[in-house]
A and B are shown apart, each in its own frame.
Chain A
């Protein structure tokens, strides 16, 4: 790859990136103005916590389920003959 092509490719890449960032910045401004798309981290974290609490009792790996219900755990214990 010649350095000239590399140079122009950098410019093309940089322009593309700037264009993308311009778009993102305008979206961000609109989002913050509307403020119903972006949420405070505290609210978002609270939502994640609520989801976990609601589903925690159904989570077998978290709560542990009895051996009889878990198809992967072996039911019988070994006996010495």
Chain B
């Protein structure tokens, strides 16, 4: 089913024959064009060069892949955990549940911290979006969108708005927050992004003016909030994109995305180009998160492993796995210094990994169903986890 829904990435008039219908976004000589499936077929047969068959192309693709691996392998002189042998072991952690946030009526699918380090927004499958004060457990704002399935939510950098990604409407909307408790925020919802399949992830860029979305239609896109215009689209994944994360470095204009095609890709936001691709996971990648310095990122996958990729070495440098962990990892986040990696799993627990020594430091128990998201607060004092058991927990 995923395959079929991905095929029609856009709908409109075909660039070749003019008929309106589902179109495939393809590249001819690096130029993106939208052809209907009939024209793609005609063009593909006509365009085959002499002697080129599916088999020869596949062979060429395999040799090129091997060549790339070879080049990458030449720089792999030592493992990360070997380099980290001289560093001190992480001391015993005293992380416990400090707050349990109850109020959602269904699975909590996503959450995000506000830059003020105390407020957080969470969204659930029953269409409710709640803004909480993490210190007092006060529910500051609540929005009810009963016909939606809010799979992603993000706080604006200013703290004045939230972005919500829809699983049913395929839209990403922005809602301005107000201090007036009586105001019906649902009426102020403004649609910004339009995809052809569910919106799996959304985030604001450096300001409130632009949002970046990832979607089940296999693409990511950058939108202008004010006009709703599509500024840049990112194509390259061959299946649903499940997660994205913006680079934390000031000079970085890149983001990383991961999806059901087991690939994680790093993109340049201005040109829309795919800079780097990593294909190590053995199953869907559920979450990707940048290391605090911006030089590496971690990914969590249904294959029960989390992996660390270094962008300058251009390869996977660590795999966080254990024989006893057999359930998929749904979400990851780094602690402030990047020494700890918190990963939420489908076996209801959160494993805390030592990033450098590649060992497990601790396990956090408490939730009664799958963890959907883990997120460290902006100043690193607390970790918040959202779960299918309808609650959120703050650990500190």
Contact = CB atoms under 8 A, between A and B. Distances in A.
Nearest to B71: A28
Given A17-B61, A28-B71, A59 B27 contact: no
B335 A59 contact: yes
A1 B6 CA distance: 13
Contacts of A29: 71
B93, B98, B338 pick with most chain A CB within 10 angstroms: B338
A45 B84 contact: yes
A42 B76 CA distance: 8
B74 interface: yes
Contacts of A10: 54
Contacts of B93: 61-62, 64
B229 interface: no
Contacts, number: 195
B231 interface: no
Instruction: Say which size band chain A's interface belongs to.
Output: 35 or more
B241 to A, nearest CB: 17
Contacts of B295: 44, 47-48, 51
Given A16-B26, A59-B337, A71-B381, A8 B41 contact: yes
Contacts of A47: 293, 295, 312
Contact of B99 (A19, A46, A72): A72
Interface stretch (B12-20, B148-156, B158-166, B313-321): B313-321
Instruction: Say which size band chain B's interface belongs to.
Output: 35 or more
Nearest to B311: A44
Interface string B298-318: 000000000000101111010
Contacts of B75: 38-41
A49 B64 contact: no
B101 interface: no
B365 to A, nearest CB: 17
A62 B340 contact: yes
Contacts of A22: 64
A62 B24 CA distance: 48
B78 interface: yes
Given A41-B75, A45-B84, A52 B60 contact: no
A71 B396 CA distance: 9
B108 to A, nearest CB: 19
B283 to A, nearest CB: 21
Interface in B19-76: 24, 26-27, 30, 37-38, 40-41, 43-45, 47-48, 54, 57-58, 60-61, 64-65, 67-68, 71-72, 74-76
B336 A58 contact: yes
A76 interface: no
Nearest to B291: A48
B44 A8 contact: yes
A53 interface: yes
B64 A21 contact: yes
A72 B135 contact: yes
B121 to A, nearest CB: 18
Contact of A58 (B30, B77, B293, B337): B337
Contacts of A37: 312
B336 A44 contact: no
Contacts of A1: 4, 7
Nearest to B65: A21
A60 B356 contact: no
A48 B297 CA distance: 11
B64, B99, B118 pick with most chain A CB within 10 angstroms: B64
Contacts of A41: 75-80, 310, 313, 315, 317
29 contacts: A1-B4, A9-B24, A10-B54, A11-B54, A12-B43, A14-B54, A15-B44, A18-B61, A38-B314, A39-B75, A39-B312, A41-B80, A41-B315, A41-B317, A44-B295, A44-B310, A44-B313, A45-B78, A48-B355, A52-B87, A55-B292, A60-B396, A61-B93, A61-B340, A61-B376, A62-B336, A70-B381, A70-B396, A72-B134
